[in-house]
Structures are given as structure tokens and as C-alpha cells.
Amino acid sequence: MIAPHLLHEGETCTLIAMAERASVLTDAAQYFAAAKAAMARAEHSITLLGWDFDPRTLLEPVSEIPRDDMVLSLFLNRLIKARPTLDIRILIWKMQIAIAAQHEFFPLRSRSWLDPAIRFHLDDTAPAGASRHEKLLVIDDTLAFCGGSDFGRDRLDVKSHPDRPRWRAMPDGARYPARHDVMLCVEGEIAQALGAHARARWQEATGEAVAAPVQREAHSLWPAGLPIHFEKIPVAMLRATPATPQSPALRQGELLYLDAIRRAREIIYLENQYFTQSRMREALAQRLEEPDGPQVVMICTFQSPSNFDRATMDSARDLFVARLKTCDRHNRLRVYAPHTKKDHPIIVHSKMAMFDDTLLRIGSSNLNNRSCGYDTELDLAIEDAPGIASLRDAAIGHFIGWNGEAFAAHARLYPTLIVALDALGAAGMRLKPYHPKPVGLLGRIITAWHLGDPYDVAEAWRPWRRQKDVIAMSRASGR
């Protein structure tokens, strides 16, 4: 168990508010279905914040020609036509041209796909080189979704991660890899707080103040059939923002990670797109060196899909893992890359962490340097709520084709989680041990100097400030 009270307003989080209900959504098909159902019943407002936005996003895994309500832009256009008083606002980061080119220049050309009554704005207020990386959908200030998934054309996948289904394809027919992501759905006061945050972001980006929706009567937008994992619990909102001339950076996400790593007692479970953050690497290394420290289980992608990420993030990840392995003197570290049944790597895009059975964190923050206060990030955290251990069982189980109960029954046969993972046998072949690849001189330089992954605004354009990580990277590479 970890000590209580990791969440402190103004330190490790911005605020804490009550959720009447909350649910962890695994993979985009579940998120898109729940979001679509809730938006269809919206009475006042829909506000979406995102890093990416493709109006062609398929909302359901169908092999036939999709109906209009299965395509994001057509669904939203029909919704605003049927309900013209609905206030729909979409605020998406204005990508640099080089990045947008890899997305067929979406979201830069998304505006023309949407009804003029839908307010769509590209946010260009981030510092040069930084991004607005939050993923948040708020409906009527009553229901909200926060996590790692944007509405993108290559995001849709289901829990079973089938091999090459017809629906997992781009508009030109090109197939994209299986993809894993996680969102948290919350209802109640925390959704109202997230709505206020979304309106503040809109005003910051556009200069336009937006009034909160008038709640004429209490109404629930909870999607039918969505499992309820938590009821009547406090939920924390934590943020990362870059420094500006008017205010210092917010680093709540990094502070919570470091505090939770330091105080974990039994299990640290991390799913993340990237593992490059130097302070967290050293915090984990210290815990692994302790004779009675926690087990550490990490889930990562075998190889990033883009050349830029392979050059920057993958090299740093390999040195991150290599460093931890040198410190794993008591055999408590396991790193896995999930694969499909036919042995194709699954892209891990989720940003989820669980510490023992008392802290759950889901959001947009990667475990890299830039997510700590260079990019703009938003995460939610739940502390001391029953059910976190069951969610960890479900998360692991889904990678091997089991439900959470089946994996929990298996784990109870063994003294520790990692022993249970080692004993999976044939089922575990889909959750392959990840072995870091050798990193050459160029990769070590990219990592040591945080190229493509700056820690803050000052470091981004002053490379001489980055030498602080050279020594640690030399240790990781065995020099």
C-alpha cells in the first residue's frame, strides 16, 4: 500500500471534485461509442479539446459502407441541424505543417468538413515547438471524457485487437496497426469543473468568454451499458502547462508521478506511449535498487510508427529501460510490448498508471520530458477507491485475451504479480518481454540532449542547458 494523500490541491493537482460515477474505457471503440451516445443526448453544449482531429473518423468498427451517423463530421453536422441551439465548440492544436502533412493536413483543413454552426478553432497559442496535447470532451457540464485518445482516423480499435480487420483502415484503404488507448469517463461535479477548464482554454485561445450552460434540471447522460467502476468518489484534475512571461510552468503531473513512485510499496504499473523522462527513470531506478521495493511493470510499444519518434523517443526509451535493468538487482522489473494473435505489434498510446491498489491516473501525459511542462497536458487521478486492483487485472488481461477475473484468478496462484506474469505460458506470448535495442552514438546524443523532447521552454531553445542528463545517459549505456 502507498501512503494516503498523494493528491493535494495546488501541488499535485489543480482541484478535486466529486464524481457520481466513473468508468475506465479501454480502446477507442468503447470511447467513441460512449461519446457518440452522450453527444446524441446533449441539451446545452459539447466542447472538445484535442491534439488531433480528423472529421473522417469512423466511430464504429464496421466493414460495410458506414452510415452517416458512423462518421464523426456527418454525425456532428446532423446533430447541429437537428438541434440548432446546441453549442458545439472544437478547439484543436494548430499542428506544424510538417506534422500535419503526416495526417493528410488534418486538422488544418477540418473546418470545411463541419457545419458553419459548429465553432471550430485551431489553437496556435502554444510556445514554438510545444503542443496543446490535452484530450477532453465535455457534454453539458454533466459528463466528461479525459485520456489519451483523439478523434483521429487511425485511432479506432477494439479490445481484442484483431489482425487486419477491414474497418481498421485509412480512407485510402491503407491498413493501420492495432492500437491501444484508455479514457476515463466521469459524471458529476468533476465534469462541471472540466467544463470550466475547457471554457478557459477556449477563451485563452480565442479571446472569447463562454458562459457555463444553464442547468434547467438535473439530467444524466451516462451511456447505456457503460460499466460503472467507481461511484461517489473524489477525482483530481492535474495539469501541465509551459511557462509564460506572466506565469511559471505547471508541473503537477510530474510531481504526482515522482511522489507516487517514491511511496509505492507493492506494484507500480505503467502503460505509456513513451518512456524517456529522466527524473522518473532515476526515481524508478532507485526503487528497484531497494531490497524490499515495489515490483515495476511497464507496457510499451515495440516500435514507434513514425520515423521522428523512432529517432528521438525510441532511442531514449531503450536507454531508459537499459538503465532500469542495470538497477534491477532483485528481479522486480518486467517490461512488455503487446502483440496481436498473429504477432503484429500493438501501438500503445495509453497514458495510464496504477500504484499499488490505491492510485489510478489516466490522461494525456506521456512519460517523456515534454509532457512535464513544455506541452499542455490534462490528467485525472483517483485515490483510495476500491476497484483499482481489479482494473489492473483487466488491463493486463485484455492484452492476452482474458478478462480481468480470469487474470485475477491466475495471479492468485502465485506469490507476486511478476511471478504470475512469468508463468503465463502460451497466453503470455501476446505480451512479449521487451528487450532494449542497442543505442548508437547518435541515439545517445539525441537522448542526452533531449532533442525532440525538451523539458521546458527555456531548455527548448538553449541546448547547452541540457547537459544535466549526459551523465545519467552514460550510466545507462554502460560507459
pLDDT of 2 > 60? The answer is no
Query: With left for phi above 0 and alpha for psi between -120 and 50, is residue 295 left, alpha or beta?
Result: beta
Q: Which residues pair with 463 in a beta bridge?
A: none
pLDDT at 424: 95
Give domain 18-209+224-233's CATH number out of 3.30.470.20, 3.40.50.2300, 3.30.870.10, 3.90.1170.30.
3.30.870.10
Q: Work out the number of other CB atoms within 10 angstroms of the CB of residue 125.
A: 14
- Nearest Cα to 301, choosing from 432, 395, 135, 118? 432
pLDDT (mean) for 87-107: 91
Give residue-wise pLDDT tens across range 296-326.
999 999 999 888 888 889 999 999 999 999 9
Q: What is the DSSP string of 305-337?
A: SSHHHIIIIIHHHHHHHHHHHHH-TTS-EEEEE
Q: At what angle do helices 252-263 and 278-289 cross, to 10 degrees?
A: 10
The pTM for the full model equals: 0.95
- Domains 18-209+224-233 and 236-476 equal at CATH topology level: yes
**Strand 143-147 vs strand 136-139: parallel, antiparallel, or unpaired?**
antiparallel
Q: Tell me the three state secondary structure of residue 380.
A: strand
Backbone angles phi, psi at 172, to 5 degrees: -85, 5
pLDDT at 101: 85
* Least trusted range by pLDDT, from 73-82, 149-158, 167-176: 167-176
More confident residue, 349 or 441: 349
pLDDT at 7: 96
pLDDT at 475: 47
Contact 346, 178 (CB under 8 A): yes
pLDDT (mean) for 35-62: 96
pLDDT of 471 > 50? The answer is no
Would you list the domain boundaries of the chain? 18-209+224-233, 236-476
What percentage of the chain has pLDDT greater than the value 70?
95
Query: For residue 236, which amino acid is it?
Result: A
DSSP E strand boundaries for 37-193: 45-50, 87-93, 119-123, 136-139, 143-147, 179-180, 182-187
Size of the chain, expressed as the number of residues it contains: 479
pLDDT of 195 > 90? The answer is yes
**What rounded mean pLDDT belongs to the chain?**
93
Q: In angstroms, how far is CA 366 from the centroid of its own chain? A: 7
pLDDT at 464: 59
pLDDT (mean) for 337-358: 97
**CATH annotation of 236-476:** 3.30.870.10
pLDDT of 204 > 70? The answer is yes
